[in-house]
A = this chain, B = another copy of it.
Amino acid sequence: MLRSHGGRARAVRCGDLHIDVAFIAASIADEYGNCNGMLGKSAFGAMGFAYADAFHADNVIVITDNLQPYPVTPISIPQIYVDYVVQVDAIGDPAGIQTGTMQITRSPTRLNIAKNVVKFLAKAGIIKNGFSFQAGAGGTSLAVTKFLHEYMKKNGIVGDFVMGGITGYVVDMLHDGTIRKILDGQSFDLKAVESIANDEGHVEVSHIMFGDPHTCGCVVNRQHACFLGATEVDLNFNVNVNTHSDGLLLHGIGGHQDAAAGSDVTIITIPLLRGRVPVIRKEVTTVSTPGDTVDVIVTDRGIAVNPEREDLIEAVKGKMEIVDIEELYKKAISLVGEPKEPKFDDEIVAIIEYRDGTLLDVVRKVKE
């Protein structure tokens, strides 16, 4: 069962997903369980994932390598939810949160895609004071963040917040006043960790608050834009992030469904081809995020807008070239030919749940 960040929080809170024991790593804790991930030698930043678990698990065990006198503050998970506190030598290496994907892409193709995202938003009149967005940590997303930062700074635009997966690129925006607040569910590099511990405007939020659709309102609903990746997109704007075109299950959903559903404008950044594999398909191998929540596809060979978004098409008319998604598909096919479809067994290896709990798709076993 694969769920989005917000969908998992929803499932835990409503009882669909029962947790017997939650093990919560903390870089500082007191013996009653008040803890956070911001302080100490193993500081890793926001613990947005831990909230729903701590609130609802039958047993909550905080594991720390840094036990400090009561009371530890700031309090991310409060003592009232914590059954046990366990002290260990080391909870892990915080450098490990900073993986290879946390670098701005060097690919000219992808840099061009990122530039076109910012150009599209600018031409559509979306980047103005109060502009708020979700930043990711892929190489292209980081490039979008950097180019957005440059654009906003140059034009004196101040945004309300960035939600994320937070990186140093977003912290730079906070520090020079290009955005007022950072809402952080998971810190993606050590600069973000340092910032959440020290910057008043950098605030930890739970994944409940990030994206649980069964609340009185989650943060994604306030995002003007989000920039997301995909392994495939189809002619109905459905997005696959779970399998590759060979049908093999590879990725989780992350916050993809949540960000797409909530944001005013959901932008998918993809190359038209990966090697000799077209990324735009007639139908995606797996539906991870439904097409009616996806608005714009930015590729290296053109930008397509969901025909349902007449407002966006109207907004950029005459200012920027957009193409039909069928055209992008045909261009890909003309370059590499019709893609070979994988063959599947009947056996289901994964269920893709939508964030609200409905069944979205299944992943079947690929025939050897």
Contact = CB atoms under 8 A, between A and B. Distances in A.
Interface string A195-235: 00000110101101100100111110110000000000000
Nearest to A59: B216
A79 B215 CA distance: 8
A75 B203 contact: yes
A209 B33 CA distance: 12
Interface residues of A, number: 37
A162 to B, nearest CB: 11
A361 interface: no
A82 interface: yes
B203 A81 contact: no
A304 B82 CA distance: 37
B80 A181 contact: no
Nearest to A83: B216
Copies of the protein in its oligomer: 2
A70 to B, nearest CB: 6
A32 B222 CA distance: 9
A96 interface: no
B60 A216 contact: yes
A130 B216 contact: no
Contact of A80 (B69, B78, B218): B218
Interface in A71-106: 71, 73-75, 78-83
Given A60-B216, A217-B32, A208 B71 contact: no
B130 A217 contact: no
B216 A33 contact: yes
B70 A161 contact: yes
A221 B80 CA distance: 11
A209 B79 contact: yes
A292 B219 CA distance: 48
Nearest to A210: B80
Contacts of A212: 80
Contacts of A71: 160-161, 181, 183, 203, 219, 222
Contact of A217 (B80, B180, B201, B217): B80
Interface string A275-316: 000000000000000000000000000000000000000000
A217 B82 contact: yes
A70 B222 contact: yes
Contacts of A205: 75, 78
A274 to B, nearest CB: 37
A69 B203 contact: no
A217 B74 contact: no
A212 B78 CA distance: 13
Contacts of A219: 71, 79
A70 B221 CA distance: 12
Contacts of A82: 216-217
A32 B205 CA distance: 15
Give me the 8 closest cross-chain CB pairs, A-B, nearest first: A80-B215, A73-B203, A79-B217, A32-B217, A80-B209, A82-B216, A83-B216, A71-B161
Given A73-B203, A75-B203, A78-B206, 16 more contacts: A32-B222, A33-B216, A69-B130, A70-B132, A70-B160, A70-B161, A70-B222, A71-B161, A71-B181, A75-B205, A78-B209, A79-B216, A79-B217, A80-B209, A80-B217, A81-B216
7 contacts: A32-B222, A71-B222, A78-B205, A80-B209, A80-B212, A82-B217, A83-B216
